[in-house]
Amino acid sequence: MAYLRPRLGPSRIFLPVVSVFRLVGSARMDDMGLAMSRTQLERLDFDNVVLKKLPLDLSQESGVRQVKGACFSRVKPQPLTSPRFVAVSPEALALLGLDGEEVMDDPLGPAYLSGSEIMPGSEPAAHCYCGHQFGQFAGQLGDGAACYLGEVKVPGRWEIQVKGAGLTPYSRQADGRKVLRSSIREFLCSEAMFFLGVPTTRAGSVVTSDSTVMRDVYYSGNPRHEKCSVVLRIAPTFLRFGSFEIFKKADEFTGRQGPSYGLDEIRGQMMDYVIEMFYPEIQQNYPDRVERNVAFFREVMLRTARLVAQWQCVGFCHGVLNTDNMSILGLTLDYGPYGFMDRFDPDFICNASDNSGRYSYQAQPAICRWNLVKLAEALAPELPPDRAKAVMDEYLDLYNDFYLENMRKKLGLLRKKEPEDEILITELLRTMHNTGADFTTTFRSLSQIFCSTEGESVGEEDSVKQAIDLLLEQCASLEELRAANKPTMDPRELAMLLSMAQSNPALFQMISDRMTIARQLERLSRLKDLMETSQEELKTKQADEWSCWITQYRKRLAHELEGQSDVQAVQEERVRVMDSTNPRVVLRNYIAQNAIEAAENGDFSEVERVLKVLEKPFSSQDEGEEQQQGATPTSTARNPVPYDSKPPAWAQEICVT
């Protein structure tokens, strides 16, 4: 038995080791089981770098307050009652590594994507920023309704936030909530802009609920209960021009100052973070700090110029181009009272609060330049003012280059750049304005106009007539033009202001401006002419104007064919480029309104249907009809017309804010 003891000894030592391995293996299996049981949303990999790199306000003090020395504040999103999905964008959610169907099927999906439940790793916070609103410095603004959830590591890095999740330190007099109509509008337009090829923040989902708030939709004194809703927004970052204005000294006009005035070291931190994270090539290529900062500002300027040129070329009007709504990455940011033009009108205003037309369609390039100047002021002294001015001197030329490049594609002018192209484009827009032509459908129609080639001179008149008939279909009727040219100002108010401009110029400058009055007088003049015109006379005049422009256009197209051996191939390429540049469909107000009205009555299918159409804005009409097959208009929505047609007359007046 003696020889057995050594064998028993080791056995007693060995058996517990086996047990330990079994326990460790069991724990690992449990962890794997737990990981497998977690949903996609619960497995998102958050790292939330911005909260580590920039100062964070840790105060849990409730209510609105000034936040000094911090770029973000911890917040607690307010849960919704019975949150549920209205729609998701599978393409946007895929940026986070999520499957749209799986998210829709997740019982906790609506709660997680509305901030009602907090996902593992998420750190809710609200961003502190300032802004110039309608040209005046407003002081501290911040995320009054939006809530940062965190940054998700996938291939790439994406910040996600929920808009409408409740009160933050920056909510001011508001309640931090958003309603169904504004949420659907932001969701649809964010995705529409992406599929149009315009840089934009994305929208992953819309969630609604049984929670309600009071809203006065038409500012008529008749508020009603509306359902609280939340949009999931996705972008590399939501930092903006106004993020750097928290350090501003007291403004000479409003007396307001940024909450972190005097804390210049934080400005440096923020610039370091933005450049290192989102402009790494600049960080790498410019070891000198000043040169790095100048290169950064120039890149922001370039991206902004390119962005606004793209807006102009799809007929998009942002509506609220304050400095706090300008992305530091050159993305379309914050979809409020936006609008896509129907009839072309350079003075198109989509924001009912914009009485002076500061943010009109034609003003957007200049306003973006103004906002860039304010950004440069906010970056000083990190950005020397003389260097910033030199950069800004490049803006107009860069904008014009981007605009002409896009417009040449829209007109199919691909092989040559001629000085007369600017005149051709200007005359096209003037003709569209005079005839009340629809912006989107007119450009889409141009690919059906061809230039004459050798041996085709006999059919020249017929070709021009066909082109005229085609474009006349896009023009407004006499009734529509009269309605469009009615002055927006009461005649008595206009008469009073005209008198004041002469008798008391100083007082006039305080309450109005000459540009506003000039626009009203121009409308009156056009309306007078239209009231003295018959429908037949209008059609003749419209045909004459289009005939002149089409003749010039076809001559310019003929220049494209000079020296080309395969004329048919050139023509086919032109059509292909034009049809992939000029959308068949954009998110017109009446389309969004159809979806909103259906959703407010409990039918979310129209939101999904519209999203599917917007995902293919350049597809042919046949493809568009296939997308809509089986989609029966809901009884709660206005009877939809084909989305690639001109809007019905009733729809041209809708502007939902």
Q: For strand 178-179 and strand 72-74, is the pairing parallel, antiparallel, or unpaired?
A: unpaired
Biggest alpha carbon–alpha carbon distance for the chain: 126
Please check whether residue 87 is in contact with residue 232, taking contact to mean a CB–CB distance below 8 angstroms.
Answer: no
Structure tokens, 204? 């992953």
Please check whether residue 350 is in contact with residue 316, taking contact to mean a CB–CB distance below 8 angstroms.
Answer: no
The per-residue b/e assignment along 264-282, b for 16 or more CB within 10 angstroms, e otherwise, is: eebbeebbbbbbebbbeeb
Rounded CA separation 625/642 (Å): 8
Using DSSP, state whether 305 is helix, strand or coil.
helix
Structure tokens, 323? 């400095």
Name the nearest CA neighbour of 322 among 383, 364, 260, 380. Answer: 364
Cβ neighbors of 52 (< 8 A, separation 6 or more) are none
Cβ neighbors of 472 (< 8 A, separation 6 or more) are 435, 539, 542, 543, 546
Please check whether residue 183 is in contact with residue 230, taking contact to mean a CB–CB distance below 8 angstroms.
Answer: yes
What letter represents residue 503's amino acid? S
Please check whether residue 76 is in contact with residue 63, taking contact to mean a CB–CB distance below 8 angstroms.
Answer: no
Rounded CA separation 335/164 (Å): 13
Please check whether residue 159 is in contact with residue 235, taking contact to mean a CB–CB distance below 8 angstroms.
Answer: yes
Cβ neighbors of 180 (< 8 A, separation 6 or more) are 86, 206, 208, 226, 227, 229, 596, 599, 600
The per-residue b/e assignment along 293-322, b for 16 or more CB within 10 angstroms, e otherwise, is: bbbbbbbbbbbbbbbbbbbbbbbbbbbbbb
Structure tokens, 67? 């936040």
> CA distances (Å), 581 to each of 168, 412, 444, in order?
41, 9, 9
Structure tokens, 386? 């003389």
332: DSSP letter? B
Using DSSP, state whether 554 is helix, strand or coil.
helix
Rounded CA separation 579/443 (Å): 9
Q: To which residue do tokens 């191939």 refer? A: 569
- Number of CB atoms found within 10 A of residue 52's CB: 9
What letter represents residue 317's amino acid? C
Estimate the crossing angle of helix 589-600 against helix 605-614, to 10 degrees.
150
Name the nearest CA neighbour of 361 among 415, 414, 431, 314. Answer: 314
Please check whether residue 368 is in contact with residue 383, taking contact to mean a CB–CB distance below 8 angstroms.
Answer: no
> Which of the residues are catalytic?
324
Please report which helix (H) or strand (E) contains residue 555, including its range.
Answer: helix 535-561
Rounded CA separation 213/384 (Å): 47
Name the nearest CA neighbour of 656 among 360, 335, 357. Answer: 335
Please check whether residue 361 is in contact with residue 347, taking contact to mean a CB–CB distance below 8 angstroms.
Answer: yes
Rg of the chain over all Cα atoms, to the nearest angstrom: 29
